[in-house]
């Protein structure tokens, strides 16, 4: 590739670069294409959303996207061992300078009634917005680039990744950044997640999730009275932990979401467990909260052992990690942040920074640049069967993604 790219030229501000790009005839052509293809994008979205993609069961959707990437004419199209789908704008010989990703998994089990409706510009059904709209936006931009004669100064890799939702625990993105092939070259990632144009996520909300389980011998409520009861140990631990105070800034929260244990009213239970969710914008606060949880559990364990004296020795406890998303943030002078702001100013979008947990958590925690934005249009009811996406003005979101991508890769005159 020739390297007269101006994108990283310190003499040119992101504002000037965006203005220069927006004047180019080929960029106008790409904008027109994004506007005119709306009905096609709608068909892609309805078709994609109807392919089930529960956490750890994304294979069918990976294959659907692989075929689409091939049809778009992307290069080196392949699916990795987890189900992440890759396609490059230019042949493999040119290392990508930018990745654009959208998660393909949903929260819905495979036996969900996948019923979709089209009411005017509104599409309805599970997963239609989160993240069928994001995957379609990525495909739309790839398609616009393939149709145009824009010559980018750097290669772009398009990624449909698995494992973003819930217990997926960002496994798709984690895997990509653990793979030398990608981790050595991917310094910038643009994540498309959900609908809209009014925000950009520049802070990665961290979370840690644990399952705490107390186990004992159990027994009959009458004849084994005095045998230590795991439910009492657990209650004591949770009561201790619930007294924790957390800062408002950086915002830090905790929740006990699930409690299980026991079999019948006249049995001393053998196990009692709870699932706890800790969140913070700050890595340090999140670590502190984890320490606090661990000490509440071990304190309650010791206290219970004293109460039950010798019999208490039969009680054990373990704390299992069931989720870990690193907290981090995009540096204020990161080029990606400047570019998104310049693009939004150019397009007249009044966007606000947001704190959220997305695929960008992984690269951000590794010190890379990453930002999450929406796919355009409007959406709601995420993670419910009444989810909706409104296609009106989708092209504003698509232009935003395209302009940001061009400003980050550079375009040859």
| Binding piece for Zn ion, criterion CB under 5 A, among 120-128, 140-148, 189-197, 200-208 | 189-197
Rounded to a whole number of angstroms, the minimum distance from the CB of residue 194 to Zn ion is: 5
For Zn ion, which is the closer residue by CB, 148 or 361? 361
Rounded to a whole number of angstroms, the minimum distance from the CB of residue 26 to Zn ion is: 31
For Zn ion, which is the closer residue by CB, 131 or 153? 131
Rounded to a whole number of angstroms, the minimum distance from the CB of residue 99 to Zn ion is: 17
Rounded to a whole number of angstroms, the minimum distance from the CB of residue 238 to Zn ion is: 30
Is-cis flag, bond preceding 250, omega within 30? yes
Neighbours of 151 (CB within 10 A): 13
Among 17, 58, 80, 193, binds Zn ion (CB under 5 A): 193
For Zn ion, which is the closer residue by CB, 130 or 390? 130
Dig out the tokens for 409 from the structure: 């890769």
CA gap 237, 297 in Å, rounded: 5
For Zn ion, which is the closer residue by CB, 150 or 195? 195
Rounded to a whole number of angstroms, the minimum distance from the CB of residue 192 to Zn ion is: 9
Rounded to a whole number of angstroms, the minimum distance from the CB of residue 131 to Zn ion is: 4
Residues near Zn ion (CB under 5 A), total: 3
Share of the chain residues as helix, strand and coil, in percent rounded to the nearest 5: 40, 25, 35
Contact indicator for 103, 85 with CB cutoff of 8 Å: no
For Zn ion, which is the closer residue by CB, 335 or 383? 383
Question: CA geometry: angle at 169 spanning 351 and 206, to 5°?
Answer: 50
Q: Which positions from 117 through 156 interact with Zn ion, judged by CB under 5 A? A: 130-131
For Zn ion, which is the closer residue by CB, 195 or 391? 195
Contact indicator for 313, 249 with CB cutoff of 8 Å: no
Neighbours of 244 (CB within 10 A): 15
Sheet order of strands, 122-124 included: 117-119, 122-124, 388-390, 378-380
Binding site for Zn ion (CB under 5 A): 130-131, 193
């Amino acid at each position: 590739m020739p390297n007269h790219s101006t994108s990283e030229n310190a003499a040119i501000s992101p504002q000037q670069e965006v203005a220069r790009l927006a004047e180019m005839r080929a960029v106008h052509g790409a904008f027109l294409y994004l506007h005119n293809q709306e009905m096609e994008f709608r068909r892609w979205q309805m078709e994609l959303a109807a392919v089930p993609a529960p956490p750890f069961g994304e294979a069918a959707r990976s294959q659907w996207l692989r075929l689409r990437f091939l049809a778009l004419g992307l290069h080196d199209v392949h699916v990795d061992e987890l189900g992440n789908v890759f396609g490059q704008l230019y042949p493999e010989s040119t290392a990508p300078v930018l990745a654009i990703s959208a998660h393909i998994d949903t929260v819905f089990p495979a036996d969900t009634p996948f019923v979709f409706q089209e009411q005017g510009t509104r599409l309805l059904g599970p997963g239609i917005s989160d993240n069928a709209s994001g995957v379609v936006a990525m495909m739309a931009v790839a398609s616009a680039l393939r149709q145009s004669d824009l010559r980018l100064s750097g290669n772009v890799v398009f990624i449909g990744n698995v494992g973003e939702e819930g217990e997926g625990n960002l496994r798709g993105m984690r895997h990509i950044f653990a793979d030398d092939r990608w981790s050595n070259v991917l310094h910038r990632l643009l994540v498309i997640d959900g609908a809209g144009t009014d925000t950009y996520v520049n802070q990665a909300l961290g979370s840690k999730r644990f399952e705490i389980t107390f186990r004992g011998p159990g027994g009959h409520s009458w004849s084994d009275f005095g045998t230590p009861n795991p439910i009492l140990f657990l209650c004591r631990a949770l009561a201790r932990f619930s007294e924790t105070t957390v800062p408002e800034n950086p915002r830090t929260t905790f929740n006990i979401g699930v409690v299980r244990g026991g079999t019948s009213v006249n049995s001393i239970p053998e196990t009692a467990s709870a699932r706890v969710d800790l969140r913070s914008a700050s890595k340090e606060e999140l670590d502190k909260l984890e320490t606090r949880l661990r000490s509440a559990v071990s304190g309650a364990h010791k206290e219970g052992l004293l109460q039950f004296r010798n019999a208490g020795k039969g009680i054990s406890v373990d704390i299992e990690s069931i989720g870990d998303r690193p907290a981090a943030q995009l540096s204020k002078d990161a080029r990606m942040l400047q570019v998104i702001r310049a693009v939004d100013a150019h397009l007249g979008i009044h966007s606000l920074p947001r704190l959220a947990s997305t695929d960008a958590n992984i690269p951000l925690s590794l010190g890379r640049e990453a930002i999450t934005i929406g796919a355009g249009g409007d959406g709601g009811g995420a993670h419910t069967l009444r989810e909706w996406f409104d296609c009106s003005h989708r092209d504003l979101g698509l232009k935003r993604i395209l302009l940001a991508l061009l400003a980050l890769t550079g375009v040859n005159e």
